Chains A and B, each alone.
Chain A
Amino acid sequence: MSRAETCVVACAEAWRGDGAVLAGSAGVIPGLGARLAQLTFARELLVTDGEATLLRDGRVEGWLPYRQVFAIVAAGTRHVMMGASQLDRFGNQNISCVGPWERPASQLLCVRGAPGNTVNHPVSYWVPRHSPRVFVERVDMVSGVGHDRGAHEIRLVVTNLAVLDFATPDRSMRLRSVHPGVTVDEVIAATGFELTVPDQVPETREPTADEQRLIRERLDPDGRREREVR
């Protein structure tokens, strides 16, 4: 079992119980997680090829051009796992630019669909390198809105170290589990704001034998997942 495989399963868990909603994802590991969830415990999930085709168990089952994606966003029948260049304790996310918006030190993607996603349907985040540069007090440009700004629901944050959620009275970020081999102190040190840490922090569950086989033999035989978490 590798760290990347733990992360794939932790991402898959984000969609548990979602039913027939569209699983959106950015990044190799969330993409594998969505397909793994569909193959195992979230059979009803809708998954795309990253363009306009819906796939079920690797076979074409439908058509979903961008304009239909926006209808699904507005309808709320979607749960996307996005990336985050910055993320704060209420789940405000930035993928737009770093530094002052007027003249950024580093221009990134712009806001993409983050504002619409976060006010319409559940959103989770995938952070392949958990660090204080990502987990900041204040994000430079609120692309995805957090719980203090009217988010519909920020469900999970999965990183290379841990799984985080917002199960606190003010819906700020909480450490939910640490991956096998990671300490709570490591996560605290890698987080640039005060995190709610329960007295007992469980370990992230390990992939089952079946899940491991699906990841290794069917979904990612080339091991692309290992390059995303190092």
Chain B
Amino acid sequence: MRVSIEDAVGEVRDGMTIGIGGWGSRRKPMAMVRALLRSGRKDLTLVSYGGPDVGLLVAAGCVRRIVTGFVSLDSIPLEPHFRAARSAGAVELTEYDEGMLYWGLLAAANRLPFLPIRAGLGSDVMRVNPGLRTVRSPYADATELVAMPAITMDVAFVHLNRADADGNGRYLGPDPYFDDLFCLAAKQRFLSCERIVSTGELQEQGPPQTLLTNRSMVDGVTETPHGAHFTSCVPDYGRDEEFQREYATTGWDTFRARYLDGDETDYQKAVRR
């Protein structure tokens, strides 16, 4: 089902838990993030392998809690807005090992309450997440493992290279990241893509195993060309390193006024320069 960016973001209510696909500063559904920022939603919980999606929404005051294993801009290791918000005590954090986050999504996708994992044992992840429990193997080994709880979400946003209007989607780059799991772990799922094509054309663009989403995993599809900017969306485009530097070094009010006060068309015009 084709939807507009505004329709998709319109499903988000204050206080909801939102999943954002991609990884760091790679193939993030940034057009959706910008729309979410414009909508002025509050008290969101973000589940993300964090990048500028987290930074933008935190800087805009939309976020109460972040559930993540890291927040990084890749070529710029530390995310300035996330750092500032943490030091100011302005945002809550559920900090997991990256593999634990994967396991939590996998558990949710499989409708399991938890999945056992070694990651986390002995580390301060257990200290800062006092709700985390361990589980003992019922077999002879009796190994103690972390019982990683399922991470469920109200709404998930992911961005792929190509899709048809029904939600069959394909990545063309080297890594699917975890976008399929974000879709499977969320109640409502929105897929943005560089180009909506016919189902036939979609099939011609690569081998079947790069078809990451199928119709049952997606509730709305929207075409957002250049919609992952300024993160990478290879092979359609790489990361806009120059723009990312500007984002990381410009005061928030200035950056927002320059790029984010208009709609997505205004943004794309402003970044083309």
A residues engaging B (CB < 8 A)?
51-53, 63, 65-67, 70, 73-74, 96-97, 101-116, 118-120, 141-145, 149-151
Q: Select B123's contact among A65, A104, A106, A149, beta carbons within 8 Å.
A: A149
A107 touches B121 (CB 8 A): no
Considering the complex, which residues of chain B in the window 27-81 have a beta carbon less than 8 Å from any beta carbon of chain A?
50, 68-72, 77-78
For B66, give the chain A residue with the smallest CB separation.
A110
List chain A residues, Cβ under 8 A from B86. 97, 103-104, 107
- Of B50, B117, B122, B178, which one neighbours A66 at CB under 8 angstroms? B178
Q: With A and B bound together, what is the CA distance between A107 and B71 in angstroms? A: 10
A109–B70 CB distance below 8 A: yes
Q: Quick one: closest A residue to B50, CB to CB? A: A110
Is the Cβ of A63 less than 8 Å from the Cβ of B87? no
Find A106's partner among B87, B127, B128, B177 (CB 8 Å cutoff). Answer: B87
Quick check: is B197 within 8 A (CB to CB) of the other chain? no
Which A residues touch B77, using CB under 8 A? 109
The distance from the CB of A101 to the nearest CB of chain B, in whole angstroms, is 5
Q: Does B82 contact A (CB under 8 A)?
A: yes
What residues on B are CB-neighbors of A67 within 8 Å? 102, 176, 178
List 8 extra interface pairs beyond A111-B70, A116-B117, A142-B122, CB under 8 A: A67-B102, A103-B89, A107-B86, A107-B87, A109-B72, A109-B77, A110-B95, A115-B122
A-B interface pairs (CB < 8 A), number: 121
Query: A119 and B119: CB pair below 8 A?
Result: yes
| B122 pairs with A119, CB closer than 8 A | yes
**Can you list 24 A-B contacts (CB < 8 A)?**
A53-B174, A65-B176, A66-B102, A66-B177, A67-B102, A103-B87, A104-B87, A106-B87, A107-B82, A108-B78, A109-B70, A109-B77, A109-B78, A110-B68, A113-B69, A113-B98, A115-B123, A116-B98, A116-B117, A116-B120, A119-B122, A119-B123, A142-B127, A145-B123
- Residues of B within 8 Å of A110, CB to CB, are 50, 68-71, 93, 95
**B97 located at the interface, meaning its Cβ lies under 8 Å from any Cβ of chain A in the complex:** yes
Q: A70-B102, A111-B96, A113-B98 known; A150 and B122 CB under 8 Å?
A: yes
The verdict on B99 contacting chain A, using a C-beta distance below 8 Å, is yes
Question: Cβ of B133 < 8 Å from any Cβ of A?
Answer: no
Q: Specify which chain B residues have a CB less than 8 angstroms from the CB of A73 in the assembled complex.
A: 99, 119
Residues of B within 8 A of A108 (CB): 78
* Cross-chain contact A120 with B118 (CB below 8 angstroms): yes
Q: B55 to nearest A CB, angstroms?
A: 12
Per-position 1/0 for B109-129, Cβ under 8 A of A: 000000001111111110110
Does B175 make an interface contact (CB < 8 A)?
Answer: yes
Q: B190 at the A/B interface (Cβ < 8 Å)?
A: no
Our pick among B72, B98, B127, B175 for the contact of A65 (Cβ within 8 Å) is: B175
Tell me the complex Cα distance, A88–B182, Å. Answer: 37
Is the CB–CB distance between A106 and B83 below 8 Å? yes
In the bound complex, CA of A67 to CA of B23 (Å): 12
Question: Which residues on A sit within 8 Å (CB–CB) of B100?
Answer: 115-116
Measured between beta carbons, the chain A residues less than 8 angstroms from B119 are: 73, 113, 115-116, 119-120
Report Cα–Cα, A112/B174, bound state, in Å.
21
Question: Does the CB pair A70–B99 fall under 8 Å?
Answer: yes
* Nearest A-chain residue to B128, judged by Cβ: A101
Smallest CB–CB gap between B64 and chain A, Å?
15
Q: Closest Cβ of chain B: how far from A65's Cβ, in Å?
A: 4
Given contacts A109-B72, A116-B98, contact A143 B175 (CB under 8 A): no
A197 to chain B, nearest CB (A): 27
Which residues of the partner chain A approach B176 to less than 8 Å between Cβ atoms?
Answer: 65, 67
| Complex Cα–Cα for A116 and B117 (A) | 9
Distance between Cα atoms of A81 and B77 in the complex (Å): 17
Q: Does the CB pair B70–A112 fall under 8 Å?
A: yes
Question: Beyond A74-B99, A114-B97, is A66–B125 a contact (Cβ under 8 Å)?
Answer: no
Q: In the bound complex, what is the Cα–Cα distance between A74 and B68 (angstroms)?
A: 19
Which residues of chain B have C-beta atoms less than 8 A from A52's C-beta? 174-175
Partner of A111, one of B82, B87, B97: B97
The answer to whether A115 and B121 have CB atoms under 8 Å apart is: yes
Contacts of A149 in B (CB 8 A): 122-123
User: A224: shortest Cβ distance to chain B, in Å?
Assistant: 14
